[in-house]
Each structure stands twice: as structure tokens, then as C-alpha cells.
Amino acid sequence: MKQVTRYLRLPFEFDLAALQTDLQRLLPDQWVLHYNDQASDGYWHCQALRSPHGRSDDILAFSDNHFLDTPLLARCPYFQQVLQYFKCETSAVRLMALAPGGVIHEHTDPGTNFEDGVARLHIPIITDPDVLFWLDGEPVHFAAGGTWYMNANCLHRVENRSAVHRIHLVLDCIPNQWLTDIFNAAGFIANPEPKYGDPSITDANVLEIIAELRQSGTVTALDLANRLDAARHIQ
């Protein structure tokens, strides 16, 4: 069986000099401490280019509110061109900086993988070969100017062992057919659908759940029990 994709280089390259020029258009005092400050050692800060209600100081990745461009994005014509290149909806768009010697400790970001409806893309603007992501224990360097998908639902950490501030443009894209086609052409391998439709139901507990559903006796419960029993026999 082929290994599920943890990261993927997409076939998009952007003008590194133009990215860095736009970065210089932003004010140093606009950086906001990442809200998960317990997850890192060292300077881990963000600037919001798209955020809930378009607020520049809101770096949250998820919200029930509508994501809008912030005043910071308005300063940056090339960043705007980059976003327009992606023919899909974007939610959070942030610049994310990690200082020299900084470490983001191992963690997961549940719900941030392609299969869950969020494709988190990294476009490195300033980086170095000594900046490494570790994804389920595998080290990878995201090269500058390229476009990289990272499955943040897996265990990951970041180490900046270089002498530069690592700065990535990070886009949370909502998959559509255009993006799906791009991913598939790049060799994306999705997580298989749960055998029973619910990841909490496994071969180890399915018989117990079927018995409880049949004991309930309702039409809905019996229908679900029959579907689970049918799935149990699929190889």
C-alpha cells in the first residue's frame, strides 16, 4: 500500500524577489505572538493577510465568521497576485515567522488536512536548508519560492537551526475541483475513508456496537446495524 501524503510539492513557483519586496512593505510592529505560545521556544509570530472580519490582529486559523482581506494585504501587490493565482477559496492567510534557534514543539492541528477540507500551503519567503519540518518523524526542508502542502493533522514540529528568521506565507485553501486536480497530478495519496464511516468504529468494537444497535430496535438503529454488518464483510 502506498504511503498517505504528509507533504507535497505543488507545481507553483513564485518570484522570490517580489515576495521579499512585499514582505518589506509590512511594519515590524504588526507582528502578533502566535496564540499557541506554549508550543514553541523562541520567537513565533504572525501577520494576518486574511482573517475573520478582515482584522489585521486576528491570526486565528478557524472561525465561524467570514474571512476577508486585511489592510496589511492591501499594502502588498505581489501577495495579492499570489492569492489570485489559486482558483479556490482561501480562509486564513498569514505570514508566519520563526526566529533563529526557534523550535515549534511536536503537535497536531486536527482538521487541517486535505481530506478534512483544508489544504494548508506554505510558500517560503525567507528560509535556509537548516530550517526543517519533521512530519511523523521524517525531516523535510521547504525550499524558498515553492509551494508546499503540509498535512498538519499529522505529528509535526519545526526547527530553525539557521541564522535567519524563517518566514513563510501560509494559505489555508478550501479544496475544490481545480485544487483536487492539481493535487492528484502532483501525486497526492489521500487517507482512506474509515471502513465504517466513523473512525471511532473499528473491527475491535464493531460487533459490540452492532449488538447495541439491534437491541435498541428502532428503524434507524437497525438500518445502521445492517450497514455496519455489511461493511464488516468487505475485504
Is the confidence at residue 43, as pLDDT, over 90? no
Instruction: Using pLDDT thresholds of 50, 70 and 90, give the confidence band for residue 208.
Output: confident
Question: Where do the domains of the chain lie?
Answer: 7-185, 193-235
Give the pLDDT confidence score for residue 57 in this predicted structure: 87
Of 192, 132, 178, nearest to 157 (Cα)?
Answer: 132
Q: Percentage of residues in the chain with pLDDT exceeding 70?
A: 92
Reported as a single tens digit per residue, the pLDDT across 146-165 is 999 999 888 999 999 999 99
Is the confidence at residue 9, as pLDDT, over 50? yes
**Mean pLDDT in the chain?**
89
Q: 206-216 and 219-232 are packed helices; what angle lies between their axes, rounded to 10 degrees?
A: 160
Reported as a single tens digit per residue, the pLDDT across 119-148 is 999 999 999 999 999 999 999 999 999 999
The four Cα atoms 9, 14, 15, 21 give a dihedral, to 10 degrees, of -100
Give the pLDDT confidence score for residue 44 in this predicted structure: 83
Query: What is the CATH code of the structural domain delimited by 7-185?
Result: 2.60.120.330
What pTM was computed for the model?
0.81
Least confident of 79-93, 114-128, 139-153, 212-226: 212-226
Q: Between these two residues, 30 and 137, which has the higher pLDDT value? A: 137
Is the confidence at residue 1, as pLDDT, over 60? no
